[in-house]
Amino acid sequence: MTLLEVENLSVTYSPRDSAAVRAVDKVDFGIEEGEFVGLLGESGCGKSTLGHAILRLLEKPAAITGGSITFDGRDITHLDEDELRPLRWADLSTVFQSSMNSLNPVITVREQFADTFAAHPEAAGDRPDVDARAGELLEMVSLGRDVLRRYPHELSGGMKQRVALALALALRPRFVLLDEPTTGLDVVVQRDILDRLRELQRKLGFAVLFISHDLGTVMEMADRVMVMYAGEIVEDQPAGDMIESQLHPYSAGLLGSYADPRDEVVQVAFVPGRPPDLSREHAGCLFEPRCPVSVDACRTEHPELLPAGRGQARCLLVEQSPDDGALLRDVAPTDRLGGVFSADSEPRARGAADTEPVMVVDGVGKTYRTKRGVRTTTTRAVDDVSFALRPGRVSALVGQSGSGKTTIARLITGVERPSSGTIRFKDTRVDTLRRRAMRRYRRHVQLVFQDPFSALNPTRTIAYALGRPLRNHLGMTGEQARQRAAELLETVGLSPAEQYLDKLPGQLSGGQRQRVVIARALAPQPEVIVADEPISMLDVSIRAEIVELLDRLVRERGIAMLYITHDLLSARLLADEVMVLNQGVMVEHGPTLEVIGQARDAYTRRLLAAIPRPGRSRESWPDEPPNEAERVPAGS
């Protein structure tokens, strides 16, 4: 029997002072006992809301407005809190998104296990031995028993996440909902936790609904994958089948955003546009405005989720063939992608490797001293790092969090001074600049930030944001600056510019904001741009768009770019050379294909292993990197 049956489920947000939003719309699916199901979707698609609805945790102003949820044959859609309580955790448990905040900060880990046991005597027994059982659970997720005595703030992000996982399994539930359980953690830690999770799931046999925006992990973990778009399930297929061929154009676009960076030719796709406004009624297919293959009928007819192949799809163009060969009708595979960005093994038509460098970093080190009480600890954040940036070329700086890559960005932009070594911009020593000279220097070195939501002042218009560098660095008048700001917006693909100039950042999507941030960096005509993880906060389907934009700017304007990332795929797409940083030391440095193709460093290889490669079946994926890449101790 199906363990969890969701039928026709709708969830609506009805805020007091704005229009109601249909966040989840008539969703239908079931999960079998012991099945591992992935739910894939981008920000705002309603996947977390759906998760909360299943757990019956929705709070005002969100509410279930239709359909039903049946667990183990029992309709739980309208049970009240008292009736739900025995089911909770003993049958349905969860690990939340950002478990950073899902542990009670003022009680110990042990107490959080103890109250779980105490609330469910029927599942945990009347007098459970908390220390023994909780200790066992912690060991199951590779944590020591001493963690029991600790408070959440004493644990690292990875450790908290493991505690949350152990807690979720405490009562041997039959169903566990995992909502972005590893988002925000370092790639290596992430990998470790997910491996453990999959292992435990096989051993203990609980069913999982794994919610994530991260296609790679979903494809790798799940037996079956559902893709959600704008509140609806648009595709539901066994993971292996979906990797082979996607039914819905949106899934095709999502999977197209990945490729193996070691390939000779790397091609990634993106889906232009943004999701629809769900507070309005839509007649046709919700994906139609972004769809590269839509036909006239798509505009008027709303497709149903119908069987196709070994799964289901919500697309008018999917042929309802009785055999296994469900395909998008009459569409060649390459045409299904909205936009494509590719990089081959040939050197790009950009600056040459022997051009005179604009920026030379020579033997730079940075030591931080932290005073805590009487003791002073020194941390060596960057150690003897040397490289050069050349016009028209991109150097990627790759490393995990804490490897010192952001420190290097701060050093070459003059936000901080190196403890040793020199940084030269043309003939200027950057590391000794004083106030006024520093301001002049910054005209030539600009930053592109990671988080497009924090990089633009929410209270200032786009015209203001772009106008400041123009007026300060280029001495333009208000009218000239506005003119130039419009040109810049056109350059970064926000056209017609007049439509954007007077908008506030809040009125733009994440991708549009990032384009504005890039336009602002271009404004003073800099020679060097430092881009600090510029795509990591963006939705997968639009990342390649930004990569393409950056590539074009470097090529057309001869800019020297330092591209900081932990994502080897984007480094492969964009960079001419790659530098790998580990604990402040540069461990690899060379032409992109060379470094990525014959990675020597254990960390680089782990990064490579973390990149999903759709198009190959899971079994054929290479195993974990060799065992010499020892398990990273939790919390490091």
Partner 1 sequence: MTTPSSTSMTAPAPTGAGDTEGVRVAAIAAGRSNRLPGWFVILWRNGKCRFGLWMLLAFVLVAVFAPVIAPYGPRVDDFGLSEGPTGAHWLGTTARGEDVFSQIVYGARTSLLVGTVAGVLSTIVATAVGLTAGYLQGTVDEVLSFFINLGLVVPVLPLMITLAAYSPVKGLGLIIAVITVTGWAFGARIKRAQIITLRTRDYVTAAKFAGDGTARIIAYEIAPNMMSLIVVGFMGSALGAIGAEAGLAFLGLGDPATTSWGTMLNQASMGGAMTTGQWAWLVAPGIVLALLITAFTLINFGVDALSNPHLRED
Partner 2 sequence: MTYFVRRAGFFLATLWAAVTLNFLIPRLQPGDPAQAILSRLTGKSQAVDPAQLEAVRKMLGAPDGNLLAQYGDYLGALAHGQFGISYTYYPYTVTDVIGDAIPWTLVLVGVTQILSFFIGTVLGAWAAYRRNTRADSWITLGSTFVGTLPFFWLALLLIFVFAITLRWFPDGGGYGGGSQPGWNWLFFSDAFQHSVLPGLSLLITGPIGWILGMRNNMVQTLGEDYARLARAKGLSRRRIALTYGARIAILPNVTGFAIALGSILGGTVLVETIFNYPGMGRLLLEAVSNKDFPLMQTLFLFTTVGVLIANFLADVAYGFLDPRVRRTEAA
When binding is defined by CB under 8 A, the residue of 1, 16, 73, 106 that contacts partner 2 is 106
Q: Is 199 in the site for partner 2 (CB under 8 A)?
A: no
DSSP string, 238-292: EHHHHHH--SSHHHHHHHHT---TTSSSEEEEE--S----TTS---S-TTGGG-T
From the CB of 374, what's the least distance to partner 1, in Å?
A: 18
Q: Which of 287, 449, 500, 563 binds partner 1 (CB under 8 A)?
A: 449
Q: Is 442 in the site for partner 1 (CB under 8 A)?
A: yes
Which residue in 134, 221, 242, 465 binds partner 1 (CB under 8 A)?
A: 465
The least distance separating partner 1 from the CB of residue 6, rounded to whole angstroms, comes to 21
- Which of partner 2, partner 1, none does 447 bind, CB closer than 5 to 8 A by kind? partner 1
Q: Which amino acid is at 82?
A: D
Q: Taking CB within 5 to 8 Å according to partner kind, which of partner 1, partner 2, none is near residue 103?
A: partner 2
If binding is defined by CB under 8 A, does position 89 make contact with partner 2?
yes
What is the chain's Cα-based Rg? 26
Site for partner 2 in 120-139 (CB under 8 A): 120
CA dihedral 160, 165, 166, 168 (to 10 degrees): 130
Instruction: State which of residues 2, 65, 77, 102 lies at the interface with partner 2 (CB under 8 A).
Output: 102
Rounded to 5 degrees, φ, ψ at 435 are: -30, -65
What is the CA angle 403-404-408, rounded to 5? 150
- Cα separation, 444 vs 434, whole angstroms: 16
Q: Is 296 in the site for partner 1 (CB under 8 A)?
A: no
Work out whether 373 is an interface residue with partner 1 (CB under 8 A): no
Cβ neighbors of 355 (< 8 A, separation 6 or more) are 390, 391, 392, 393
79/56 Cα distance (integer angstroms): 9
Determine, following the binding rule CB under 8 A, whether residue 320 of this chain makes contact with partner 1. no
* Min CB(178)–partner 2 separation in Å: 12
Does residue number 23 form part of the binding site for partner 1 (CB under 8 A)?
A: yes
Range 415-434, binding partner 1 (CB under 8 A): 415
Is 147 near partner 1 (CB under 8 A)?
no
Residue among 261, 356, 352 nearest 565 (CA): 261
Residue 122 vs 628, nearer CB to partner 2 = 122
Residues in the chain: 636
**Can residue 460 be called a binding residue for partner 1 (CB under 8 A)?**
yes
| Contact between 49 and partner 2 per CB under 8 A | no
Q: What minimum distance in Å lies between the beta carbon of 99 and partner 1?
A: 15
Phi then psi dihedrals of residue 309, to 5 deg: 55, -135
CA distances from 143 to 163, 193, 482 (A): 8, 11, 57
Complex with partner 1: residue 289 or 591, whichever CB lies closer: 289
Point out which residues pair with 339 in neighbouring strands.
Answer: 270
C-beta closer to partner 2: residue 92 or 462: 92
CB closer to partner 1 out of 460 and 631: 460
- Which has the closest alpha carbon to 540: 269, 185, 147, 347? 269
From 274, 93, 95, select the one nearest 183 (Cα to Cα). 95
Our CB check for partner 2 shows the closer of 163 and 197 to be 163
For residue 616, what is the enclosing H or E element? none
Q: Torsion angle of alpha carbons 486, 488, 490, 492, nearest 10°?
A: -150
- Does residue 172 belong to the site contacting partner 2 (CB under 8 A)? no
Instruction: Decide if residue 55 touches partner 2 (CB under 8 A).
Output: yes
- CB 454 to partner 1: min, Å: 4
Residue partners of 636: CB distance under 8 A and separation at least 6: 156
| Binding positions for partner 1, rule: CB under 8 A | 15-19, 21, 23, 43-44, 60-61, 274-279, 413, 415, 439, 442-443, 445-447, 449-451, 453-460, 465, 468-469, 472-473, 504, 506-510, 513, 517, 520-521, 523-524
| Binding positions for partner 2, rule: CB under 8 A | 55, 57, 59, 81, 84-90, 92-94, 96, 98-99, 101-108, 115-116, 119-120, 150-151, 153-154, 164, 167, 372-373
